[in-house]
């Protein structure tokens, strides 16, 4: 696919025009090229690489050096897609630390946006990064870097108190200058409410079809991750001849609203 490279403003325009934003993870140049040519809008270099690439039990062991390396590899493979890279666990404990590590991801890893997890406690950090010219994507709901604190990988926001807290945090991140938000493993009704209330694009993973876009871990949707595939994912390789066709099927399913279906969402 050859077209103008996507940007923060073009992703915002896509939401405003009612289009769906497609996002997948990638960790190397070859998969990055496949995703880019299949029309994926956003490539996320996720710290999920700790699990699907390194075989770790969680994302926590991933380092900034590793994120820089994989982000740089992905950047070399893509032309059109917008590149977002995760700040890994404990790499943004203070605004100044976040700024130093975000600078590395952008200068050495060629990221166009950095993603961090957490709500109200990250507002000062988001504001600091944005003031320095760093585009930021927030991440609420199930935040994998806090898996030990959450007691496991569980759906968040099912009761009124926690749902209202997530709504408050989403608005606070937007007000601090975040340009995009990932919502993971929250009830569809909560995701719909947040998506309608925010100006910035909301990308769902296990958050229902009403979000402005969807993201999946590439290895999950290709059914090559070891272990149990998450409920919110779907095997797009089962009816595809090759990886490129599977990614094209994913892009089409997100754009038409056929994915995620009810069985990939939470009530």
- Residue 1 pLDDT exceeds 60: no
pLDDT at 152 over 90: no
Q: Is 118 helix (H, G, I), strand (E, B) or coil?
A: coil
Q: Is residue 42 part of a domain?
A: yes
Q: Could you tell me how many residues make up the chain?
A: 267
Q: Which of 174, 184, 193, 267 is catalytic?
A: 184
Return d(Cα 53, Cα 111) in angstroms, integer: 19
Examine the pLDDT at 17 and tell me if it is beyond 80.
yes
CATH number at residue 27: 3.20.20.60
- Does 229 reside within a domain? yes
Give the separation between CA 53 and CA 45, rounded to whole angstroms: 12
pLDDT classification of 2: cutoffs 50, 70, 90: low
pLDDT score at 229: 84
Structural domain tally of the chain? 1
User: What six digits make up the tokens of 152?
Assistant: 């496991």
Q: Are 101 and 68 in contact (CB under 8 A)?
A: no
Q: Is the pLDDT of residue 201 over 80?
A: yes
* Helix, coil or strand: residue 85: strand
Query: Which is nearest to 74 in space by CA: 38, 103, 110?
Result: 110
Q: Tell me if 73 is assigned to some domain.
A: yes
In angstroms, the CA 170 to CA 75 distance is 29
pLDDT, position 3: 81
The answer as to whether 3 is a domain residue is: no
Look at residue 1 and tell me if it is in a domain: no
Find all residues with CB under 8 Å of 256, minimum gap 6, and list them: none
- Confidence bin at 183 (pLDDT 50/70/90): very high
| Least confident among 39-48, 131-140, 142-151 | 142-151
Residue 187 covered by a domain:
yes
- Residue 12 pLDDT exceeds 80: yes
Q: What is the pLDDT of residue 18?
A: 97
Q: Decide if pLDDT at 173 tops 60.
A: yes
Q: Residues 125, 172: contact at Cβ < 8 Å?
A: no
pLDDT at 204: 98
Cα separation, 66 vs 186, whole angstroms? 29
DSSP state for residue 242 in the 8-state scheme: S
| Mean pLDDT taken over the chain | 96
Q: How many CB atoms lie within 10 A of CB 14?
A: 18
* 267 has catalytic annotation: no
203 Cβ contact list (under 8 Å, min separation 6): 21, 23, 42, 180, 181, 182, 183, 211, 212, 213, 214, 215
Tell me the C-alpha distance between 138 and 168, whole Å: 13
Mean pLDDT on 59-82: 98
Percent of the chain with pLDDT over 70: 99
Domain assignment present for residue 173? The answer is: yes
Looking at the DSSP bridge assignments, the partners of residue 203 are: 182, 213
Q: Which domain holds residue 241?
A: 8-264
Return the pLDDT at 84.
99
Structure tokens at 188: 């569809």
pLDDT at 149: 80
User: What is the predicted pLDDT for the residue at 252?
Assistant: 98
Q: Say if residues 260 and 250 touch (Cβ distance below 8 Å).
A: no
Checking if the pLDDT of 127 tops 70, the result is yes
What pLDDT does 78 receive?
Answer: 98
Q: What would the pLDDT profile of 230-248 be if each residue is shown by its tens digit? A: 999 999 999 999 999 999 9
Instruction: Kindly list the distances between the CA atom of residue 227 and the CA atoms of 57, 122, 220, 224, 264, in Å, as whole numbers in the listed order.
Output: 10, 32, 10, 9, 18
Stretch 200-223: mean pLDDT: 98
Whole-prediction pTM: 0.97
């Amino acid at each position: 696919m050859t077209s103008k490279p996507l940007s923060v403003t073009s992703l915002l325009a896509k939401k405003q025009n009612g289009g769906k934003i497609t996002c997948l993870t990638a960790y190397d140049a070859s998969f990055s090229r496949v995703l880019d040519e299949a029309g994926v809008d956003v490539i996320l270099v996720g710290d999920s690489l700790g699990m699907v690439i390194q075989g770790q039990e969680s994302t926590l062991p991933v380092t900034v050096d590793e994120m820089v390396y994989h982000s740089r590899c992905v950047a070399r493979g893509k032309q059109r897609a917008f590149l977002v890279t995760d700040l890994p666990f404990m790499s943004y404990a203070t605004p100044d630390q976040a700024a130093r590590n975000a600078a590395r991801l952008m200068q050495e890893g060629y990221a166009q946006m950095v993603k961090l997890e957490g709500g109200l406690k990250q507002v000062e950090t988001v504001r600091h990064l944005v003031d320095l010219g760093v585009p930021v994507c927030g991440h609420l709901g199930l935040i994998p870097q806090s898996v030990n604190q959450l007691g496991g990988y569980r759906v968040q926001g099912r009761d009124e108190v926690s749902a209202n807290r997530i709504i408050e945090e989403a608005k606070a991140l937007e007000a601090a200058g975040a340009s995009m938000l990932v919502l993971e493993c929250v009830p569809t009704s909560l995701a719909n409410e947040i998506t309608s209330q925010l100006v910035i694009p909301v990308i769902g993973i296990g958050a229902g079809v009403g979000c402005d876009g969807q993201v999946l871990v590439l290895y999950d949707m290709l059914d090559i991750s070891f272990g149990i595939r998450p409920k919110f994912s779907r095997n797009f390789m089962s009816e595809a001849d090759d990886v490129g066709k599977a990614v094209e099927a994913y892009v089409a399913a997100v754009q038409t609203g056929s994915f995620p279906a009810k069985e990939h969402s939470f009530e």
